Amino acid sequence: MSRFDRSGLAGAAVLAAAALVAVLAPLLIDAESLDVTRVTADAWQPPGAGHWLGTDHTGRSVALLMAQGTGTSLFVGLTAAVLSVGIGTLVGIVSGHFGGLLAGALLRVTDFFLVLPALVLAIALSTVLPRGLGTIVLAIGLTSWPSTARMVRAQTLTIEARPFVERARALGGGHVHVIGRHVVPSVVPLVLVNATLAVASAIVAESTLAFLGLGDPTRISWGAMLHQAQLHGAVPQQAWWYLLPPGLAIVAVVLAFTLVGRALEAVVTPRR
Amino acid sequence: MLELRNLSVHYGPKRVVSEVDLTLAPGQTLGLAGESGSGKSTVAMSVLRLLPRTARVEGEILLDGDDVRTMSWGRLRAVRWAAASIVFQGAMHSLNPVRRVGDQIAEPMRLHGTHGSVAELLEQVELPREKARAYPHELSGGQRQRVMIAMALACGPRLVIADEPTTALDVVVQAQVLAVMKRLVAEQDLGLLMISHDLSVLAETCEDLAVMHRGELVERGRTREVIANPRHPHTAALTAAFPVIGDPAHRWAEPAPEPEPLLQVRDLVVDYGRTRAVDGVDLTIGRGEIVALVGQSGSGKTTLARTIMGLRKPSSGRVIFDEAEVGRTGKALKAFRRQVQLVLQDPSSALNPRHTVFDAVAEGLRVHGLADEQEALVTAAVERAELRPASLYLESLPHELSGGQQQRVVIAGALVLQPRLLVADEPVASLDASVRGEIVALLLRLRRELGLASLIITHDLGLAWQIADRVAVMHQGKIVEQGTVDQVLLTPSHEYTRALLRAVPQV
């Protein structure tokens, strides 16, 4: 077993655990235990027998918050990545295959989004649009597709220069045939790998936005926990148990996605 | 100077070179012939210990009496290039595209601290000294290969190893490069170990010849004698594979009566920007006729073929197929493409590495919406292309097949649409000598059995002699001469045809 296989498996295990927590948490956790008006524990309790990871500024259990936040972080990460990779793939294939004026126009749009500071644009979008998960997904998705588009376009151009595409054209194949039978199958592995990496960066972006207070106020996410911790003075309270777990969880999940992406890349690279 | 004793090379359990003994004295020229996978390049790379780490080398490799296998790293570095150097295959990929060639030639001199002048080296390989400031892409293929030779000579080595130095070049340029190498070897008393799959190239440059087959040295002797009286059957197969122009035994095409025209090209002009690639070409291919279109690289022959296929728009002129003008768009063009099929030079890249043989062959059927009896049609086409039984191959991926089998798959993919004309761009150029003959025979059999006409585009005049009924010679976008094979190749009337024929290496 190669090094990539092992690290990829480790990544996959972390992701599986995170997914399990995300699915089970809302089912198992009693809504009351996360309701600030009904919690009984004291605020800023350090980790102990009652609360594994201590309590926050309102007395809620950090461990339960963590579990509850997993779903939001993963959901935003996955959907934003799908959106961004989807737009990127479409733009990339179309501009790579058709060329000419259309490609020129698409590439300028790509460049426009590429040079815009993504975070600033996302902040602007989430300020203007109504607050909610959808807005965050949209903000991240719309700002992170240009690099995928560039990469897919490059791959499309490489494939289209190969003699087997010329052969397909000579056989009488049109655009749909060339794109469907030759371009898409060779782009998909690359896109898949890219998607796993996009999920990782989308999770970071979500955390960033939430940390800056631009998240969905009705939902708990790891980024939002960090925001709350910072807002309510976890640092002066020296409540490391409120800051470290969400931060480490983000690192772990992002690393896991990256490892899986790397391993996938090694698997899908075509044998020659 | 160089002595290989009992050299064996293994990759894992696989033995790629077994017990090779060779000696080479200063001033001696030795050709090493063999097909792909015969181990000839492995032997050459082992001389400078350039094999990958996974290779296990046994035996002795003595370079001026020192065993390369046991040399210290420092000593090996000193020996590389200063005692023996290599002219690599494919100058396109062996030169750094972003550095001037002069700097690249000077690189080994700087590393070894030898004195010398790049200008002098360039003059030795008959390049003007200003070319030192050129980047690789500004040079032609032949010029790049000369740069590689100049680089190999930079530190004054006594042994030069040339690995397929002329493979990607056309006949005329090949003749020039070979002449340069011959002269340098004679002038500087170099030892030359030249590796090639092409016996005629080796016959042109080397006094001695060694033939490798499946990792073993099967024959060794004076070049003339080996080629005239091959003792090993593999050598005989290699010599037979290179047709001698004018030899009736190498002419495989049966004489055919003057056929009715199938495809007519009238006054075709194709421009690339300001360059005129095809300049007023008239060409006729009869029903069931095989026409060879010969010319150097850059003569416009490939552009002409692409334009005939409708893959490129002509600037002016007409293409008439079966007495009707070929449409340039939509349905008419699609219908035309069913009748005319393309076979490309390199079968390994003409097949999508992700598609099985079945998918590759069925592609044409799917494009034209002929879904009925797909399986039966594909099987029939694959068997026509002599991959029998078809069931053994249908689920294979291209990388599991040999070069010859891949080319048969490409041909099957063309046959499945029951075309009337094949346009084949260098159909055998990237195939091994022994496979080459089989593919040529297949094309001729298809003509005989199916009445399939072919336009064969090639720079190989031997192939034209072997297979064609008529030959058209293309030079700078124009067809300078066309006629029957006998007329054009035996009694050429145009000066350019004569120059091409002179450049063909003689066995």
Q: What is the pLDDT at residue A252?
A: 93
A271 CB neighbours in chain B (<8 A) are 353, 399
- B337-354 burial, b at 16+ Cβ within 10 Å, e below that, comes to bbbbbbbbbbbbbbbbeb
Structural domain includes residue B285? yes
User: Would the CB atoms of B363 and A173 count as touching at under 8 Å?
Assistant: yes
A186 CB neighbours in chain B (<8 A) are 352, 354
Q: What is the pLDDT at residue A215?
A: 80
Q: How far A235 CA sits from the closest chain B CA (Å)?
A: 54
- The answer to whether the CB of B411 falls within 8 A of the CB of B417 is no
Tokens of A134: 């959808």
Co-location of B154 and B270 in the same domain: no
Of B207, B240, B273, which closes a domain?
B240
Task: Choose between B384 and A31: higher pLDDT.
Answer: B384
Structural domain includes residue B251? no
Residues of chain B with pLDDT under 50: none
Q: What is the pLDDT at residue A165?
A: 92
- Supply the DSSP symbol for B84: E
Q: What is the pLDDT at residue A272?
A: 43
User: Would the CB atoms of A171 and B367 count as touching at under 8 Å?
Assistant: yes
User: Would the CB atoms of A172 and B368 count as touching at under 8 Å?
Assistant: yes
- Residue identified by tokens 């190239």 is B201
Spatial distance between the Cα atoms of A105 and B203, rounded to a whole number of angstroms: 57
Torsions phi, psi of B349, nearest 5?
Answer: -100, -10
In the predicted model, what is the mean pLDDT of residues A24-29? 84
Q: What is the pLDDT at residue A4?
A: 65
Q: In this model, does residue A16 exceed pLDDT 90?
A: yes
Q: What is the pLDDT at residue A270?
A: 55
Co-location of B439 and B307 in the same domain: yes
| Residue A3 pLDDT level (bands cut at 50, 70, 90) | low
SS3 of chain B: helix, strand, coil, percent, to 5: 40, 25, 35
Mutation to test the A interface, candidates B354, B361, B368, most A Cβ within 10 Å: B354
On whether any CB of chain B is under 8 Å from the CB of A176, the answer is no
Co-location of B31 and B65 in the same domain: yes
Q: Which of B254, B253, B257 is nearest to B243 (CA)?
A: B253
Structural domain includes residue B364? yes
Query: Domain of B107?
Result: 2-240
Q: How far A160 CA sits from the closest chain B CA (Å)?
A: 11
User: Would the CB atoms of A168 and B346 count as touching at under 8 Å?
Assistant: no
Structural domain includes residue B257? no
Structural domain includes residue B163? yes
- A197-220 burial, b at 16+ Cβ within 10 Å, e below that, comes to bbbbbbbbbbbbbbbbebbbeebb
Window 416-445 of B, Cβ < 8 Å to A: 417
Query: Could you say which of A164, A172, A185 has the minimum Cβ distance to residue B337?
Result: A172
- The answer to whether the CB of B56 falls within 8 A of the CB of B9 is yes
Co-location of B84 and B174 in the same domain: yes
Q: What is the pLDDT of residues A42-60, one digit of tens each?
A: 878 888 777 778 888 888 8
Q: How far B350 CA sits from the closest chain A CA (Å)?
A: 4
Structural domain includes residue B422? yes
* pLDDT, averaged across chain A: 86
- The answer to whether the CB of B481 falls within 8 A of the CB of B470 is no
CB atoms within 10 A of CB A46: 12
Structural domain includes residue B215? yes
CA angle B205, B207, B208 (to 5 degrees): 115
Query: Could you say which of B333, B351, B417 has the minimum Cβ distance to residue A164?
Result: B351
The structural domain count of chain B equals 2
Co-location of B107 and B212 in the same domain: yes
Q: What is the pLDDT of residues A103-152, one digit of tens each?
A: 999 999 999 988 888 788 888 887 888 888 888 888 888 888 998 999 99
Co-location of B301 and B165 in the same domain: no
B378 CB neighbours in chain A (<8 A) are none
- Supply the DSSP symbol for B115: -
Q: In this model, does residue A271 exceed pLDDT 60?
A: no
Co-location of B338 and B223 in the same domain: no
Co-location of B318 and B170 in the same domain: no
- Alpha helices by DSSP H, listed for B369-482, are 374-384, 403-415, 433-450, 461-467
AA letter at B174 = Q
Q: Helix or strand or coil: residue B305?
A: helix
